[in-house]
Chain A
Amino acid sequence: MHLSIGEVYAFSVFKNPLVERFGVGLTPIGIIFSISIVMLGLSAAVFGTWVERAGPRAAMFTAALCWSSGFAIGALGVATTQLWLVYLGYGVVGGIGLGIGYISPVSTLIKWFPDRPGLATGLAIMGFGGGALIASPLSSTLLETYASNPVDAIVPSFLTLGALYLVSMMIGAFVVRLPPEDWQPEGWTPPTEEETSDLQTTADVSASSSIRTPQFWMLWTVLFCNVTAGIGVLEQASPMIQDFFSGITPAAAAGFVGLLSLANMAGRIGWSSTSDYIGRKPIYMVYLGVGVVLYFVLAAFGAASLVLFLLVTMVILSFYGGGFATVPAYLKDLFGVAQVGAIHGRLLTAWSAAGVAGPLIINAIADYQIANGRTGADLYTLSLYIMVGVLAVGFVANLLVRPVDPRFYMEPGPEGEPEKESTASGRAAGSES
């Protein structure tokens, strides 16, 4: 599922052919990607509760239809030179598929692997990073194969990708299943209240209640800050390294983008798995606290050494990926497993917001610096210092995360199922918020 929808990160491969096809600038074409990322967050938030209620199979089926239809409608838009159809297809319809597809495996995996939720969700969300690694060379190959001019190959390439992703996502939908109610891994027993850490709950909080807790908004801030900082570098990676080091060719810069993609993917599985051992709050202290230091080093000394620049940016991008992959397990710790998928969906609106804020900060300041006659690494220094501040805000927000007040817990139903929320007066005793 995630390997398929991760294609969205490789959309830039189609940018230049689409610019030529529609005869417009980069900005109107860039809007296609922006719409899809905004729709990802919005649809994950809106449909999160439905995904929990309908189950992963129905959700994945729907995601597959939306994602592949997005390519088909987009192809129609390209064929008829109607850019709005591409916005509607790849952006809106495909974006809905992205949102539903992104959250659909999360709570299922946490239920299958309650002993290693970080590893389980890390593996899935690593797929989102890996999807771009497949789609980028695949899309390039399709554009070269279908026609001598890439512009003429966009439509068949879109249709091919849509068909491929329809099949692969349907296979995922076909094989996914929820564990039985009493499932637990062999040799593992659920931790008791005494055995859990302060932030881990054995109760459940509903999605609608979760957004009334300060913990949700602290985590929203944490995710927003971590993504804003990372996406700003990722989006400008190619021009940034060429501005920092004058001898870097465009081909070498493309290699740098690939290196960051690998670091991003490795961070998703590596750091998320590590969080199973050291805890979610401490791992975010690392992402944000060490991130502050690394962005400072990049701003102050990045231009001094290519090796230093590469190492620092790779670790930064590994934290960016780790932040995405660890957050479902963090939510599970705080809010329980019952509606973690729906809560995760609501939290992903932070990604949509950061997807706008991060590139905006980097691009606007670079344009301002260019207008003031600055060149090279100076174009980015101020942005990187701003990112230091952004990460510091996230660090403080993470520090402020406390256990959820028990008044937000759902009360168990007759069969031991979480059923409804307790009243404020019902279980407030011993609350610690």
Chain B
Amino acid sequence: MSEEARQENGGQTSSSSTILVVVLWAMVLIPLAWGIYQTLLGVVALFTG
């Protein structure tokens, strides 16, 4: 397999794909963290009221 093909298919990690991975994980984790935080605010009500 060519070097280009290896990069295309994930055989090696280039710096641009590292940035892409970080951005994509952020797109998933930031809203998920917000959703979990909002849910936990509701859970507090279970123990306080």
Q: Interface residues of A, CB < 8 Å — how many?
A: 31
In the assembled complex, the Cα of A121 lies from the Cα of B34 at a distance in Å of: 23
The answer to whether B9 and A177 have CB atoms under 8 Å apart is: yes
**Inter-chain contact B5/A133, CB cutoff 8 Å:** no
Find out whether the CB atom of B39 lies under 8 angstroms from the CB atom of A180. Answer: no
Interface of B is mostly: helix
Closest B residue to A256 by beta carbon equals B46
Is B43 positioned at the interface, with any CB of A under 8 Å from its CB? yes
Alpha-carbon gap, A136 to B43, bound state (A): 14
Tell me if B44 counts as interface (CB < 8 A to partner A): yes
The number of residues on chain B lying at the interface, defined by a beta carbon within 8 Å of a beta carbon of chain A, is: 26
| A171 in complex: contacting residue of B10, B27, B39, CB < 8 Å | B27
Measured CA separation A180–B6 after assembly (Å): 8
Residues from chain B with Cβ under 8 Å of A133 in the complex: 32, 35-36, 38-39
Chain B residues closer than 8 Å to A28, beta-carbon distance: none
Binary contact readout A243-283 vs B (1 if CB under 8 angstroms, 0 otherwise): 00000110111111111011000000000000000000000
Binding site for B on A (CB under 8 A): 3, 112, 127, 130, 133-138, 168, 171, 175, 177, 179-180, 182-183, 248-249, 251-259, 261-262
> CA A134 – CA B34 in complex, angstroms?
7
Closest CB-CB distance, B16 to chain A, in whole Å?
A: 12
| A-binding residues in B (CB < 8 A) | 1, 5-6, 8-11, 20, 24, 27-28, 31-32, 34-36, 38-40, 42-47, 49
Docked-complex contact B43 and A262, CB < 8 angstroms: yes
A135 to B32 alpha-carbon distance, docked (Å): 10
- Nearest to A262 among chain B residues (CB) is B39
Contact assessment for A134 and B31 in the assembled complex, using a CB-CB cutoff below 8 Å: yes
Instruction: Report whether B40 and A258 are in contact in the complex, using a CB–CB cutoff of 8 Å.
Output: yes
User: What residues of A have a CB within 8 angstroms of the CB of B46 in the complex?
Assistant: 248, 252-253, 255-256, 259
- Across the interface, do A254 and B38 meet the contact criterion of CB distance under 8 Å? no
Residue of B whose beta carbon sits closest to that of A255:
B46
A179, B9: Cβ atoms closer than 8 Å: yes
CB-based nearest A residue for B31? A134
19 more A-B residue pairs beyond the given contacts A134-B35, A258-B43, with a C-beta to C-beta distance below 8 A:
A112-B10, A127-B28, A127-B32, A134-B34, A168-B27, A175-B20, A177-B8, A180-B11, A182-B1, A248-B46, A252-B47, A252-B49, A255-B42, A255-B46, A258-B40, A258-B42, A259-B43, A261-B39, A262-B40
